[in-house]
Amino acid sequence: MNRRERYKKITSFQEADRVPVDLGSHVASIHTWTYDKIAKQNPEWDLKNTNLILDRMVQNSIPDDRLLDRLGVDFRWIAPHWIDVTDVEEGIYQDMWGIHWQYMLDAYSVHHSPLRTAKTAADIANHPWPDTDHPDLFTGLEERAKALYENTDYILVADSIKGGLLTKALQIRGYEFFFADMANNIPFAEALLDKLLDVYKEFWGNFLKRVGPYVETVYFTDDIGGQSSLMISPSTFRTLIKPRLASLIDHIKSCADVKFMYHTDGTITPVLDDIVEMGVDILNPIQTSAMNMDTAALKEQYHGKLCFHGAIDVQQMLPFSSPEEVRYDVAKRLYDLGRGGGYIFAPCHNIGSDVPVENVFAMYDAAKELGAYPLEKAAEVLRDEDKQGAQIFLEQAPKNAGKVVKRSRRPRSG
């Protein structure tokens, strides 16, 4: 079974030969400091790209293919280029949206929001918006996607331009101002979201004209969850964000035959049914360190409706665990999410500067060791209490291939 065949079975909620493995998107790569450590500790690999940045904001790398192959990665990501980035002063740069970012610790945070003082829809219209068909955005991407499609069996994903509807509105307007707009100035909030929707539709249309024939999935990032709750109320999400995201998803799927992978950090359980209704096919990153993001419960409730991508925690588990503890957590996520298909193994965000190199390899080596179907090796690693959870999976894969066994949903807490 080749990689693309594996992916099609998994995303059709069927078990394949093994769980697919991923790394390399702009929010799930390796911090440059950690990547540099890997390169220095393994000089025989002669890893390239130590001086290349995939996403300047989070300071992650473009991993060398030799490392991706060593880790058993099945995917290759086609990422738009950064354009119109200028250095404002030492440690501060301006992106193509006009947002200023300041370096702090090991990454960049919002420093200045250009629509902070905007008052009217005219102010929004007069902002210098990015050129969504700028040739430098897409230089070489069609050729690369075509070559990978025709000469390899890698699963190809069109990576997102940075940010999404809610995320970009918060960044370009200022967090405190846009949160206030959604409560007290809804016409302004709608005008800004509508403008962003138009920009993203144009961008994705232009992007998919180039790479649409070759990619199987598109990736869109738009954080709506925090560590312990949604960042906005479910009703605000349903009123302001959901219909616009649904419109964007419909537009993207009209441009190419692709699955839609939606990234949102944090706890998002109150709106998971809405996410399904919007047309999301794959949910990323499954931040298990956030409240109520229990992998067994998610599988029980949404198998057959959502595929899951990620779930290997980079906030607490990877930085502070032993390699043996990493292996155990990998077994847990494979067992919880992988049975019956519908799971792609990956870190839930960038592998940070605080992650020991040995844990990077422990994570991917465990996926290779334990990720073969029917996931018996993963089950053998786990204690009995960690195997009590989701019971919605294909109990007899050959007999029930492609069928979803539906059970009653657990009542939601809170």
Cα gap 164→197, rounded to integer Å: 9
- At residue 162, the pLDDT reads 77
With contact defined as beta carbons under 8 Å apart, do 347 and 353 qualify? no
Task: Please give the tally of structural domains in the chain.
Answer: 1
406 within a domain of the structure (yes/no): no
Residue 338 falls inside a structural domain: yes
The answer as to whether 263 is a domain residue is: yes
Q: Which two tokens stand for residue 148?
A: 């990978």
In a domain, 127, yes or no: yes
End-to-end CA distance of the chain: 44
pLDDT given for residue 192 in this prediction: 98
To which residue do tokens 């390169």 refer?
39
- Would you state the structure tokens that stand for residue 310, as one six-digit string? 């990620």
pLDDT value at residue 389: 61
Range of 29's domain? 3-82+113-400
Q: CB of 162 within 8 A of CB of 199?
A: no
**Per-residue pLDDT, 163:** 82
Classify residue 355: in a domain, yes or no: yes
Query: What strand order describes the sheet that includes 75-78?
Result: 75-78, 155-158, 217-221, 259-263, 282-284, 307-312, 343-347
Residue 178: what are its φ and ψ, rounded to 5°?
A: -75, -35
93: in domain: no
- Residue 101 located in a structural domain: no
Q: Any idea what the CATH number is for the domain that residue 371 is in? A: 3.20.20.210
Q: Could you give the CA distance from residue 189 to residue 365 in angstroms, rounded to a whole number?
A: 46
Phi-psi domain of 91 (left: phi exceeds 0; alpha: psi -120 through 50; beta: other):
left
3-state SS string for the chain: CCHHHHHHHHCCCCCCCECCECCCECCECEEHHHHHHHHHHCHHHCCCCCCCEEECCCCEECCCHHHHHHCCCCEEEECCCCCCCEEEECCEEECCCCCEEEEECCEEEEEECCCCCCCCHHHHHCCCCCCCCCHHHHCCHHHHHHHHHHHCCCEEEECCCCCCHHHHHHHHHCHHHHHHHHHHCHHHHHHHHHHHHHHHHHHHHHHHHHHCCCCCEEEEECCCECCCCECCCHHHHHHHHHHHHHHHHHHHHHHCCCEEEEECCCCCHHHHHHHHHHCCCEEECCCCCCCCCCHHHHHHHHCCCCEEEEEECCCCHHHHCCHHHHHHHHHHHHHHHHCCCCEEEEECCCECCCCCHHHHHHHHHHHHHHCECCCHHHHHHCCHHHHCCCCCCCCCHHHHCCCCCCCCCCCCCC
Nearest to 249 by CA among 200, 214, 293, 180: 200
CA dihedral defined by 247, 226, 233, 172, rounded to 10 degrees?
-60
Strands 75-78 and 60-61, by their bridges, are unpaired
- Digit-by-digit pLDDT tens for the chain (414 residues) are 999 999 999 999 999 999 999 999 999 999 999 999 999 999 999 999 998 999 999 999 999 999 999 999 999 999 999 999 999 999 999 999 999 999 999 999 999 999 999 999 999 999 999 999 998 999 999 999 999 999 999 999 999 887 899 999 999 999 999 999 999 999 999 999 999 999 999 999 999 999 999 999 999 999 999 999 999 999 999 999 999 999 999 999 999 999 999 999 999 999 999 999 999 999 999 999 999 999 999 999 999 999 999 999 999 999 999 999 999 999 999 999 999 999 999 999 999 999 999 999 999 999 999 999 999 999 999 999 998 764 444 343 333 333 433 333 333 333
- Going from the C-alpha of 58 to that of each of 3, 123, 222, 284, the distances in angstroms are 29, 30, 15, 18
Residue 92, domain member (yes or no): no
Which residues lie closer than 8 Å to 230 by C-beta, 6 or more apart?
A: 224, 237, 266, 267, 268, 270, 271
What gap in Å lies between CA 331 and CA 362, rounded to an integer? Answer: 12
Per-residue model confidence (pLDDT) at position 398? 37
What per-residue confidence (pLDDT) applies to 388?
72
Is the pTM for the entire model greater than 0.85? yes
Cβ neighbours of residue 303 under 8 Å, at least 6 residues apart?
Answer: 13, 340, 342, 390, 392, 393, 404
The size of the chain, in residues, is 414
